[in-house]
Structure 1
Amino acid sequence: MSDEPKIKPYPGPAGGWGSVRSVESILAKEGRLVSGNAILLKQNKPDGYACVSCAWAKPADPHPFEYCENGAKATAWELTTKRVTPEFFGRHTLPELRTWSDHDLEEAGRLTHPMRYDSASDTYVPVSWDKAFQEIGQELKGFDPRQVVLYASGRASLETSYMWALFARLYGTNNLPDSSNMCHETTSVALPESIGVPVGTVILDDFELTDCILFFGQNVGTNSPRMLHPLQEASKRGVPIITFNPLKERGLERFTNPQAPTEMLTGSETRISSQYHQVKIGGDVAALMGLAKILIESDDKARATGGRPVLDHAFIAEHTHGFEEFAQAARQAQWPELERRSGLSRSTLEAAATAYSRANAVIGIYGMGLTQHKAGVENVQMVVNLLLLRGNIGKPGAGICPVRGHSNVQGQRTVGIAEKPELVPLDKLNEQYGFEPPRWRGMTTVEACEGIIKNEVKAFVALGGNFVRAAPETAALEEAWTRLRLSVQISTKLNRNHLIPGEVTYILPCLGRIEIDEQATGPQAVAVEDSTACIHGSKGIAKPASPDLLSEPRIVAELAKATLPSNPKVPWDEWVADYARVRDAIEKTYPEDFRAFNGRMWKPGGFHRPIAARERRWKTKTGKANFVVPQSLEADLGIAENDRDIFKLMTVRSNDQFNTTVYGYYDRFRGVRGTRMVLFMSRNDIARLSLQEGDMVTLTTAVDDGIVRQVNGLRVTPYDIPEGCCAAYYPECNPLIPVWHHADKSKVPAAKSIPIRITLQQKQLPEAAE
């Protein structure tokens, strides 16, 4: 990180030469400039490996370079030539490492040996795999399973995830929170109520057939750049792309395709959004209700005058429930309130509604900008309501499209990592493995945080991730973590979680997905599920970072064998020897989703799980798709509206980041170099608070619960964002999120709507000359 941060607007598009230079820079930094480029040619290919970054769909006919800038960074990050060996820990104690930045911790390199925390020296010391498994198993045997959390990050394969979930239930716990609880659990709650499935209905082919795209709360240029290719193709066909997002994001404005030589040589750009509406943070329900109101009232007028209907009445009559109640709520909504809450004018919403009404097949895309609000479930259901009005679910070129984060986070839920027992075929597991699974509801991420803070959780075993950094209520969580009896982290790289030990703490280093996984029957392959419920095979091609690493399935199996009584129906060793045997077991547990699993996993483009709503089969209580009336027009219930000193803060990711992993200090699209401690504000708000660009400020959570939550040292930075709203980086601002500030029903932390106050830090005066 440079000593002097530099903030200067970036004039270029998403993609382009900036993307190429960024990829080559990180490959060189990680010592993979030549070999890394060769390995990237296999990324997201039918005979290669699935990207370890985002979960966007992988085409059957891939580009020659089927990876994006951030996907290349994730590959370089995993395949770095740098190593964190036992000697590294001999040189660095935990107190010292806690002074390092998140970037520098991971930049140190790949973990190479199992390590155990030694309190006497306050560092990690090497330990044998056998001893580690033996002691962890012995510890787990001594707990009430209800006091144990088995967390899963989103990168573990379907095979590992199935084994992890089975291990947890054989152990006797449903405490299986995962990274979905941090982001898209809102989707998994909202969509079943509305359309009877927990995932989206859109597949990649629909982008070729759509004639309108609605885009809500998702930064495609940073979080899923490969989606820019179908968006660019749609734009070139003249498809309206109507975006609702508080910030202007470059990937939603314009794009130069790095894989198109003509575009690169000429510098030509493609306009992505045909309309870009900067909705207020928390204003999405009001904006969507405004759109619905325009459509319904236009249809009322057309029907009264004999004009052409605006709504799809045949679809509504045959396939939906609750339309009249929703339509009445839309008619009764008042424009002054809709405009005030959304931050958008009636004429703006009329322009968007007109484009939508002229289209025959519409895709609704959204990300965490909708899910991470107190009323996040209603945000998502309002998008569904809008699509249902014109029959835009269950036909080619149309549907709902939640954009997931980690590359297999959706798949983990599919194969049993869920704290909700009703989502798992427990009777089938009983029959298959001869045990009685626990049927009580387990802990979500938020509930796990609460349990740790209250000292009710005694052990936390993590399959990947950087939990203390990703979770809310950071200060209290870190302080409470030291009271855990057992903390186990299965990891590839060093992160903040490793530096906060419990009484007994282990780091278990594992192979990465891109590395060759050699087992008794030869090199193994795994499978993952993307955002469109499509299953893909993935096989590693790189030499492992260390001969002492074990695969994730092997680690899970050894933990299970060390903890559980022997069960002849659970062949852990046979599964590790041949992952195809795990896939056979998955197919037996989930026959509808994984029919002929081993035979289909290498199909170009993958194979799709059956999604009932895509076929207009509605597995809801009413047997139809449901219109849901929101309780309020405000997605941030409980935040004071009339106090102009309270701002709504949304956390964002930089162009040099994926989740908690920070690849560098250059957020190219926002023009921020050398720092992450910035606060993006509108110029009018800066002037109103008598601040100046470059001032250092403190953010304090504006709630009165007896706890002071603050983040210091953020640089005031003017940005194009609605007044009363501001943005800063995740996870640096996670300490501001109260653990109880989460989405109703789904308990996803409300990181996109944190009420804060902004105060100027005292400026240091120069010392007077003597």
Structure 2
Amino acid sequence: MSTEDITGHATDGDTAPLKPYRHPAGGWGSIKAVASILVQEHVALNGSRILSHQNKADGFACVSCSWAKPADPHLFEFCENGAKATAWEITNKRVDIDFFADHTVSELQSWSGLELESRGRLTAPMRWDAATDRYVPCTWEHAFAEIAQELRALDPNEAVFYASGRASLETSYMYALLARMYGTNNLPDSSNMCHESTSVGLPKTIGAPVGTVQLEDFEHTDCMLFFGHNTGTNAPRMLHQLQDARKRGVEIITFNPLRERGLVSFANPQSPVEMLTPSQTQISTQYHQVKIGGDAAAIAGLCKLLIEWDDEAQRDGTQRVLDAAFIAEHTHGFEAFAESMRATTWEEIEHHSQLTRAALDAAARVYAQANAAMVLYGMGITQHRSGVHNVQMLSNLLLLRGNIGRPGAGICPIRGHSNVQGQRTVGITEKPELAPLDKLKELYRFEPPREKGMSTVEACQGVLDGKVKAFIGLGGNFQVAIPDHHVMDPAWRRLRLTVQIATKLNRSHLLHGEVAYLLPCLGRIEIDRQASGEQWVSVEDSTACVHGSHGLAEPASDMLLSEPAIVAGIAKALLPGNPQLDWDAWVGDYALVRDAIERTYPDQFRDFNQRFRQPGGFHRPLPACKREWKTESGKANFIVPDTLDEDADMPAAGPDVLRLMTTRGDSQFNTTVYALDDRFRGVYGTRDVLLMHRDDLTRRGFAEGDAVCISTVSDDGVTREVDGMRVHAFDIPRGCIMGYYPECNRLIPLSHHAKSSLVPASKSIPIRLRKSA
């Protein structure tokens, strides 16, 4: 299929509201975007110098996505979005004391998230003053003392300690320890909003909460299957591995409602040939536009074909399709799963996936012929009410052919934030069974809390119910990232205490409690000078490799503290003295924190200080990679899905109901929006758009560009609407519609989440449309 056929676009002419983007991911478009952001943030020269060290062994780990960092990096080991994140952090723009003197919080609430963050870096600790409705300067000592005073007045389980996924391993370990020594396991994090479905689903299938694919596996694979991921925007550095694989003839099969540019074609900005000629690499060899929420049905179709082909091979005495020896030795539950797939009808599969049997047959034949295959997936799999089952169905597909625990094969959840996986590794979790509580008790001589803490959804419910009275945020933009904004926003103002540790101003900082602090911290790219000298920190990437990171930029202000120093400052003011723990020594030398992490997790972090700075980092040991299954059965488990219908337990839906997925744009990372353009989808100057199939647009009597009001279909009596969105025809399956995150988050009921994992189901929201008044 030619590039012109896959523009993901259905409008024509120069006056069309959407303009086709007919170019590959990467290429000159990427170079232009990087140059533009460096100029915009006034860091053209310094930014270029710093970018040359991004994701290098002597430099810093990207503050954007968590994709793997190679031991032998490219000359420029950063992508367009990584460069945007770096420029955004090292900007010369400042939000200083004078800025807050000029603007009340009520006034700032009328600003967009883009307007707030684009003003620059925070420079001094601030406290909200009720009399003037302004953030006013305070000393660090005053901030720590009052925060501690407020927390001591509460039951520990009335406080929530949230972590965004960007903090280092050292900070994360200290933060989790602070919360537990205070007396709570209320440690929700951004995993609760994205890949918790992975963390719940995989332990039951392969006995590990993370993926098994390592970077070197890309050199040995024969086949890749992508589900629910926009690689060109969310993990663009992976395109180098995909391009190399395609040049070796590796088949790449994609299942995604939208044709995302990065999974269609790629031009390497570091290749003179590709930059000076029309040359580009076709990435996907098959592209199947599955219905939103239809992934489990599509996977079931693949599994059904493999099982039935294997049944035929056994009857005919020909070569087996399934890896019978692997299944017999290493798995449990195969027969029940196989019977379930045999009983599943093609009518059911095609209805829920909107893919034909012929399309699934084509994909299954490629997979069946591969000696080593891997599955890669993103939040298009996990952010559904069936998210856990979706993950387990992917695992089932791999187990059928023994594609776990051998070179070139495995399951690869593609994580988002730069250390979201790592912070879980070192104890940030609301689930006490996942934390080494007995070891912490032994090391620090205190009694850790044993009761379950609150996840993100549970913390939000606690705020609504009045059970949560204090919120401490280690980074992030929590109140904007969560569902049900118009329900949640008033509740935040009833909190007694809110504390936000941040580098930039965002909308969450304006939804404050009665006592509110805004504590600015060093960014990872900045030089962190402590008593023992310049400090290194560590992070874990999506492939469970741990890397060192060293800042190169001068701090934005001499009043900033590092994240470890802020955590330690709160801990010293709040907690009684402990002879087993010297917070000041830890802040003075982060190597001591790494020693503590190694003592707590000796199997995972052996020789931590000696290994974390080596090129390529070091890989944490994962038993599933060696076909050792830490499950109740002692084997890898096939899981039979309850249903293939994403809407099985939803209120009765009529023909006018559409399924909405929220997604990020090209100039965006998580809730941070760098610009209003989304060039890969041809959207410019706005994010107030909805992309839908032309037939759905026509059937409802809408014209291109009409303003509409979206309303959520729910049975809880709450009205959830977003008005003034413009509808545009787009290449998306019928019955499906796309809008931007976080603008559409207010449409998601807090109760609309994945079963078991509680991940907000923001990729599958039942909605209706009507013309705006």
**Residue 666 of structure 1: how far off its partner (Å):** 1.1
Asked whether 1:709 is paired with 2:702, we answer: no
Question: Does the alignment pair 1:562 with 2:573?
Answer: yes
Which residue of 36, 45, 48 corresponds with 1:37? 48
Does 2:499 correspond to 1:488? yes
For 1:360-759, list aligned pairs within 5 A: 360-639=371-650, 643-759=654-770
Give 1:638 deviation, angstroms.
Answer: 2.4
Q: Distance in 2 between matches of 1:536 and 1:600?
A: 9
Shift of 1:713: 1.1
| Residue matched to 1:765 | none
C-alpha displacement of 1:642? 5.5
CA distance in 2, matches of 1:429, 1:636: 43
Q: Does 1:168 align with 2:179?
A: yes
Which residue in 2 is equivalent to 1:10? Answer: 21
SS in 2 for 1:573: helix
**TM-score of the pair, normalised by structure 1:** 0.98
CA distance in 2, matches of 1:483, 1:466: 18
Q: Is the 8 A contact 1:210 1:239 kept in 2?
A: yes
Deviation, structure 1 residue 636: 3.8
1: CA distance between counterparts of 2:544 and 2:175?
20
User: CA-to-partner distance for each residue in 1:537-589, whole Å, 9 max, x for gaps?
Assistant: 00001000000000000000000001111111111000000000000000000
Amino acid at match of 1:60: A
Size of the aligned set, in residue pairs, is 759
Deviation at 1:641, TM superposition (A): 7.1
For residues 717 and 545 of structure 1, what CA distance do their matches in structure 2 show? Answer: 42
Retained in 1: the 8 A contact 2:651–2:714? no
Look up the match of 1:194: 205
Cα deviation 1:465-502 (Å, max 9, x = unaligned): 10000011111111100000000000000000111111
Question: Quick one: which amino acid aligns to residue 611 of structure 1?
Answer: L
Separation (CA, whole Å) in 2 of partners of 1:355 and 1:290: 14
1:678: how far off? Answer: 0.4
The equivalent of 1:138 in structure 2 is 149
Letter paired with 2:72: D
Q: Which residue of 1 aligns with 2:310?
A: 299
1:317-328 to structure 2, matched below 5 A, reads 317-328=328-339
Is residue 65 from structure 1 mapped to residue 76 from structure 2 by the alignment? yes
* C-alpha deviation, 1:717, in angstroms: 1.2
3-state secondary structure, aligned to 1:711: strand
The alignment yields a C-alpha RMSD, in angstroms, of 0.9
Amino acid at match of 2:38: L
2:457/2:750 contact within 8 Å kept? yes
1:338 alignment partner, SS class: helix
CA-CA distance at 1:6 after TM superposition: 4.8
> Partner of 1:181 in structure 2?
192
Q: Where does 1:237-386 land on structure 2 (aligned, <5 Å)? A: 237-386=248-397
Percent identical among aligned pairs is 64
Pairwise CA distance, 1:267: 2.5
Instruction: Spell out, residue by residue over 1:156-202, the C-alpha distance to the aligned partner (whole angstroms, 9 max, x if none).
Output: 00000000000000000000000000000110000000000000000
Tell me which residue corresponds to 1:74: 85
Does the Cα contact within 8 Å between 1:284 and 1:635 map onto a contact in 2?
Answer: no
Report the counterpart of residue 10 of structure 2 in structure 1. none
Query: Which whole-Å CA distance do the structure 2 matches of 1:579 and 1:547 have between them?
Result: 20
Aligned residue number for residue 3 of structure 2: none
**Aligned residue in 2 for 1:96:** 107
C-alpha distance in 1, partners of 2:168/2:451?
Answer: 26
- CA shift at 1:643, angstroms? 1.3
Counterpart selection for 2:140 from 117, 126, 129: 129
Q: Distance in 1 between matches of 2:650 and 2:771?
A: 22
Q: Deviations over 1:426-455 (max 9, x none)?
A: 000000000000000000000001001111
Shift in Å, 1:640: 5.5
The answer to which of 544-553 and 640-649 deviates more is 640-649
Cα pair 1:5 1:674 within 8 Å, conserved: no
State the secondary structure of the residue aligned to 1:166.
helix
Q: Distance in 2 between matches of 1:733 and 1:445?
A: 18
1:119 maps onto 2:130 in alignment: yes
Where has structure 1 moved over 6 Å in runs of 4 or more?
none
What is the CA-CA distance between 1:373 and the residue it aligns to?
Answer: 0.5
Alignment correspondent of 1:766: none
Contact 2:24 2:280 (8 Å CA) reproduced: yes
CA deviation after TM superposition for structure 1 residue 602, in Å: 1.0
Distance of 1:635 and 1:167 partners within structure 2: 40
TM-score, normalised to structure 2, is 0.98
Cα distance in 2, alignment partners of residues 644 and 269 from structure 1: 42
User: Per-residue deviation at 1:706?
Assistant: 1.0
Equivalent pair of 1:322/1:626 in contact (CA under 8 Å): yes
CA distance in 2, matches of 1:186, 1:237: 33
The residue that corresponds to 1:46 in the other structure is 57
| 1:469 counterpart letter in structure 2 | V
Structure 2 regions of 5+ residues with no counterpart?
A: 1-14
